[in-house]
Amino acid sequence: MQTTIKHDITFEGVGLHSGAPAKLVIRPAGVDAGLMFRRVD
């Protein structure tokens, strides 16, 4: 089963140690692309 987000998600803030502006953008993945997380315990 594959799932993804529908729209871009943007986070903006200030770097904890640098004090510089920071920006993170998470975009939807294409078909058969992206990351897989597997629990192994």
1-9 contacts at long range (C-beta below 8 A, 24 or more positions apart): 2/31, 2/32, 2/34, 4/28, 4/29, 4/34
The residue with greater pLDDT, 20 or 37, is 20
Closest CA to 3 of 25, 35, 26, 40: 35
Nearest to 24 by CA among 9, 40, 36, 2: 9
User: Which amino acid is it at 28?
Assistant: P
**Which pTM does this prediction carry?**
0.62
Q: The tokens of 7 are what?
A: 């729209």
Query: Hey, is 10 helix, strand or coil?
Result: strand
Per-residue model confidence as pLDDT tens digits over 1-35: 788 889 999 999 999 999 999 999 999 988 888 88
Per-residue pLDDT at 37: 82
Tell me, what's the pLDDT at 32? Answer: 87
